[in-house]
Protein backbone atom coordinates (compact mmCIF):
# COMPACT_ATOMS: atom_id res chain seq x y z
CA UNK A 1 0.00 0.00 0.00
CA UNK A 2 1.26 3.49 -0.82
CA UNK A 3 1.45 5.98 1.97
CA UNK A 4 3.43 7.94 4.48
CA UNK A 5 4.94 6.18 7.45
CA UNK A 6 6.03 7.94 10.59
CA UNK A 7 7.84 6.12 13.31
CA UNK A 8 7.67 5.66 16.18
CA UNK A 9 4.10 6.60 17.13
CA UNK A 10 5.16 7.52 20.68
CA UNK A 11 8.61 8.72 21.73
CA UNK A 12 9.97 9.68 25.11
CA UNK A 13 13.25 11.51 25.62
CA UNK A 14 15.09 13.19 28.44
CA UNK A 15 15.56 16.92 28.34
CA UNK A 16 18.78 17.91 26.61
CA UNK A 17 18.88 14.94 24.24
CA UNK A 18 18.53 15.19 20.50
CA UNK A 19 15.94 12.93 18.91
CA UNK A 20 15.23 12.06 15.28
CA UNK A 21 11.73 11.39 13.96
CA UNK A 22 11.40 9.24 10.87
CA UNK A 23 9.19 9.98 7.85
CA UNK A 24 9.12 7.72 4.79
CA UNK A 25 6.83 7.88 1.76
CA UNK A 26 6.43 5.54 -1.20
CA UNK A 27 4.11 7.81 -3.17
CA UNK A 28 6.89 9.16 -5.40
CA UNK A 29 6.08 12.67 -4.13
CA UNK A 30 8.60 15.46 -4.63
CA UNK A 31 7.45 17.70 -1.77
CA UNK A 32 7.60 16.80 1.89
CA UNK A 33 6.70 18.78 5.03
CA UNK A 34 7.02 18.70 8.79
CA UNK A 35 4.35 20.27 10.99
CA UNK A 36 3.99 20.56 14.72
CA UNK A 37 0.64 20.47 16.54
CA UNK A 38 0.13 21.50 20.16
CA UNK A 39 -3.02 20.61 22.14
CA UNK A 40 -6.06 22.47 20.85
CA UNK A 41 -3.98 24.25 18.23
CA UNK A 42 -3.67 24.21 14.48
CA UNK A 43 -0.63 22.90 12.63
CA UNK A 44 2.51 25.00 12.28
CA UNK A 45 5.08 24.43 9.54
CA UNK A 46 8.59 23.54 10.72
CA UNK A 47 10.47 22.67 7.51
CA UNK A 48 9.59 21.80 3.96
CA UNK A 49 11.38 20.30 0.99
CA UNK A 50 10.28 20.71 -2.62
CA UNK A 51 12.86 18.35 -4.04
CA UNK A 52 15.60 15.99 -2.94
CA UNK A 53 18.74 17.65 -1.53
CA UNK A 54 16.87 20.90 -0.93
CA UNK A 55 14.85 22.12 2.06
CA UNK A 56 13.64 25.40 3.50
CA UNK A 57 12.74 26.70 6.95
CA UNK A 58 9.09 27.08 7.78
CA UNK A 59 7.52 29.30 10.42
CA UNK A 60 9.03 27.65 13.52
CA UNK A 61 12.35 26.09 12.42
CA UNK A 62 14.42 27.13 15.44
CA UNK A 63 15.66 24.10 17.36
CA UNK A 64 14.95 21.68 14.52
CA UNK A 65 17.00 20.28 11.63
CA UNK A 66 16.17 18.13 8.62
CA UNK A 67 17.81 16.35 5.70
CA UNK A 68 16.51 15.21 2.33
CA UNK A 69 19.12 12.86 0.92
CA UNK A 70 16.55 10.55 -0.65
CA UNK A 71 13.22 11.34 -2.28
CA UNK A 72 11.44 8.91 0.00
CA UNK A 73 12.81 10.13 3.32
CA UNK A 74 12.62 13.39 5.28
CA UNK A 75 13.82 12.86 8.87
CA UNK A 76 13.36 15.58 11.48
CA UNK A 77 15.81 16.06 14.35
CA UNK A 78 14.56 17.82 17.45
CA UNK A 79 17.62 19.30 19.09
CA UNK A 80 18.25 20.35 22.67
CA UNK A 81 17.92 23.96 21.47
CA UNK A 82 14.15 23.52 21.01
CA UNK A 83 12.63 25.08 24.13
CA UNK A 84 9.30 23.25 24.13
CA UNK A 85 9.76 20.02 22.18
CA UNK A 86 6.81 18.10 23.63
CA UNK A 87 4.22 18.05 20.83
CA UNK A 88 2.52 15.99 18.13
CA UNK A 89 4.69 15.96 14.98
CA UNK A 90 3.15 15.40 11.56
CA UNK A 91 4.89 14.64 8.28
CA UNK A 92 3.17 15.23 4.95
CA UNK A 93 3.97 14.86 1.28
CA UNK A 94 2.54 16.04 -2.02
CA UNK A 95 3.27 15.60 -5.69
CA UNK A 96 4.27 19.25 -5.77
CA UNK A 97 3.69 22.37 -3.69
CA UNK A 98 0.59 23.04 -5.81
CA UNK A 99 -1.27 19.84 -5.01
CA UNK A 100 -3.02 18.34 -2.02
CA UNK A 101 -0.85 17.02 0.78
CA UNK A 102 -1.23 13.66 2.48
CA UNK A 103 -0.26 13.16 6.10
CA UNK A 104 1.29 10.41 8.14
CA UNK A 105 -0.22 9.27 11.43
CA UNK A 106 2.10 11.41 13.51
CA UNK A 107 4.68 10.95 16.26
CA UNK A 108 3.85 12.11 19.76
CA UNK A 109 7.07 13.28 21.40
CA UNK A 110 7.26 13.73 25.14
CA UNK A 111 10.37 15.23 26.69
CA UNK A 112 10.77 14.74 30.42
CA UNK B 1 -3.50 33.11 2.31
CA UNK B 2 -7.05 34.12 3.15
CA UNK B 3 -8.46 33.54 6.60
CA UNK B 4 -11.37 31.19 7.12
CA UNK B 5 -14.13 31.18 9.73
CA UNK B 6 -15.85 28.00 10.86
CA UNK B 7 -18.28 27.24 13.69
CA UNK B 8 -16.41 25.63 16.58
CA UNK B 9 -18.72 22.64 16.85
CA UNK B 10 -21.68 20.89 15.25
CA UNK B 11 -23.76 17.80 15.90
CA UNK B 12 -25.26 15.47 13.32
CA UNK B 13 -27.45 12.38 13.61
CA UNK B 14 -26.03 9.19 12.21
CA UNK B 15 -27.27 8.53 8.68
CA UNK B 16 -28.18 12.15 8.06
CA UNK B 17 -26.28 14.61 5.91
CA UNK B 18 -23.68 16.74 7.69
CA UNK B 19 -23.34 20.24 6.25
CA UNK B 20 -20.22 22.06 7.45
CA UNK B 21 -20.02 25.76 6.55
CA UNK B 22 -16.93 27.88 5.99
CA UNK B 23 -16.63 31.60 5.40
CA UNK B 24 -13.68 32.91 3.40
CA UNK B 25 -14.84 36.40 2.46
CA UNK B 26 -11.33 37.66 1.60
CA UNK B 27 -10.49 34.82 -0.76
CA UNK B 28 -8.52 35.79 -3.86
CA UNK B 29 -9.30 34.67 -7.38
CA UNK B 30 -6.39 32.23 -7.46
CA UNK B 31 -7.00 30.63 -4.05
CA UNK B 32 -8.44 27.14 -3.78
CA UNK B 33 -10.66 25.88 -0.96
CA UNK B 34 -9.40 22.70 0.71
CA UNK B 35 -11.03 20.51 3.33
CA UNK B 36 -9.22 18.18 5.68
CA UNK B 37 -10.36 16.31 8.76
CA UNK B 38 -8.49 15.05 11.78
CA UNK B 39 -9.68 12.21 13.92
CA UNK B 40 -8.34 12.37 17.45
CA UNK B 41 -4.60 11.63 17.69
CA UNK B 42 -4.27 10.89 13.98
CA UNK B 43 -2.82 12.82 11.06
CA UNK B 44 -5.13 15.05 9.01
CA UNK B 45 -6.92 13.36 6.13
CA UNK B 46 -7.44 15.12 2.81
CA UNK B 47 -11.12 15.23 1.81
CA UNK B 48 -11.66 17.46 -1.21
CA UNK B 49 -10.73 20.77 -2.81
CA UNK B 50 -12.11 23.17 -5.41
CA UNK B 51 -11.67 26.55 -7.05
CA UNK B 52 -15.13 27.72 -8.08
CA UNK B 53 -17.11 24.77 -9.37
CA UNK B 54 -18.84 22.34 -7.07
CA UNK B 55 -16.87 19.14 -6.56
CA UNK B 56 -17.81 15.62 -5.50
CA UNK B 57 -15.77 12.56 -4.68
CA UNK B 58 -16.34 9.32 -2.82
CA UNK B 59 -16.04 11.03 0.56
CA UNK B 60 -17.93 14.29 0.23
CA UNK B 61 -19.29 17.14 -1.85
CA UNK B 62 -18.00 20.70 -1.84
CA UNK B 63 -20.39 23.50 -2.66
CA UNK B 64 -18.79 26.92 -3.31
CA UNK B 65 -20.99 30.00 -3.60
CA UNK B 66 -20.92 31.96 -6.81
CA UNK B 67 -19.06 34.87 -5.19
CA UNK B 68 -16.67 32.31 -3.63
CA UNK B 69 -16.94 33.96 -0.22
CA UNK B 70 -18.22 30.83 1.46
CA UNK B 71 -18.43 27.09 0.96
CA UNK B 72 -20.11 24.05 2.47
CA UNK B 73 -18.70 20.57 2.89
CA UNK B 74 -21.40 17.92 2.71
CA UNK B 75 -21.03 14.41 4.09
CA UNK B 76 -24.13 12.79 2.57
CA UNK B 77 -24.68 10.00 5.11
CA UNK B 78 -22.71 10.65 8.27
CA UNK B 79 -21.47 7.70 10.32
CA UNK B 80 -19.98 7.56 13.79
CA UNK B 81 -16.53 7.26 12.15
CA UNK B 82 -17.01 10.74 10.66
CA UNK B 83 -16.67 12.28 14.13
CA UNK B 84 -13.60 14.49 13.76
CA UNK B 85 -12.32 18.06 13.53
CA UNK B 86 -12.93 19.43 10.03
CA UNK B 87 -10.64 22.11 8.67
CA UNK B 88 -11.43 24.52 5.84
CA UNK B 89 -8.28 26.00 4.27
CA UNK B 90 -7.74 28.39 1.40
CA UNK B 91 -4.47 28.24 -0.44
CA UNK B 92 -2.80 29.61 -3.50
CA UNK B 93 -1.54 26.81 -5.74
CA UNK B 94 1.46 28.89 -6.70
CA UNK B 95 2.47 29.33 -3.07
CA UNK B 96 6.22 29.28 -2.55
CA UNK B 97 5.96 26.78 0.26
CA UNK B 98 2.85 24.71 -0.39
CA UNK B 99 2.06 25.41 3.25
CA UNK B 100 -1.38 24.61 4.62
CA UNK B 101 -2.66 26.96 7.33
CA UNK B 102 -4.92 25.07 9.71
CA UNK B 103 -7.25 27.15 11.88
CA UNK B 104 -9.33 25.84 14.77
CA UNK B 105 -11.76 23.92 12.56
CA UNK B 106 -15.22 22.55 13.35
CA UNK B 107 -15.59 19.63 15.71
CA UNK B 108 -18.30 17.41 14.22
CA UNK B 109 -19.94 14.99 16.61
CA UNK B 110 -22.02 12.32 14.90
CA UNK B 111 -24.55 10.86 17.32
CA UNK B 112 -26.41 7.53 17.15
Contact flag A105-B42 (C-beta cutoff 8 Å)? yes
Contact flag B45-A103 (C-beta cutoff 8 Å)? yes
- State the best of A59, A61, A103 to mutate against chain B, taking most chain B CBs within 10 Å: A103
CA distance, residue A74 to nearest chain B CA (Å): 16
Contact flag A42-B45 (C-beta cutoff 8 Å)? no
Task: Please give the share of chain A, as a percent, with pLDDT higher than 70.
Answer: 98
Contact residues on chain A for B100, CB-CB shorter than 8 A: 43, 92, 101
pLDDT band at A62 (very low <50, low <70, confident <90, very high): very high
pLDDT at A70 over 70: yes
Contact flag A104-B43 (C-beta cutoff 8 Å)? yes
pLDDT tens readout for residues B21-47: 999 999 988 889 999 999 988 999 999
Q: B86 by DSSP, 3-state: which?
A: strand
d(CA B53, CA B75): 17
Which of B52, B47, B35 is CA-nearest to residue B89? B35
| Closest alpha carbon within chain B to A49 | B97
Range B86-109 average pLDDT: 85
Range B6-18 average pLDDT: 97
Contact B107, B8 (CB under 8 A): yes
Task: List, as one string, the DSSP characters of chain A.
Answer: ---EEEE-SEEEE-TT--EEEEEEE-S--SEEEEEEE-TT--EEEEEEEEETTEEEE-TT-TTEEE--SBTTB--EEE-TT-S---EEEEEEEESSTTS--EE---EEEEE-
Q: Is B51 in the A-facing interface, judged by CB distances under 8 Å? A: no
pLDDT at B76 over 90: yes
Q: What is the pLDDT, as a whole number, of residue B94?
A: 65
Q: Is A56 in the B-facing interface, judged by CB distances under 8 Å? A: yes
Amino acid sequence: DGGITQSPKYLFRKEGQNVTLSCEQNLNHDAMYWYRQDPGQGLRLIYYSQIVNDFQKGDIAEGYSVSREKKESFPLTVTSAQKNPTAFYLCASSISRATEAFFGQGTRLTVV
Amino acid sequence: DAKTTQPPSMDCAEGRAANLPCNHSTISGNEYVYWYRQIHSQGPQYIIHGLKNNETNEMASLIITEDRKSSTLILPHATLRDTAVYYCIVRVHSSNTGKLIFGQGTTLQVKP
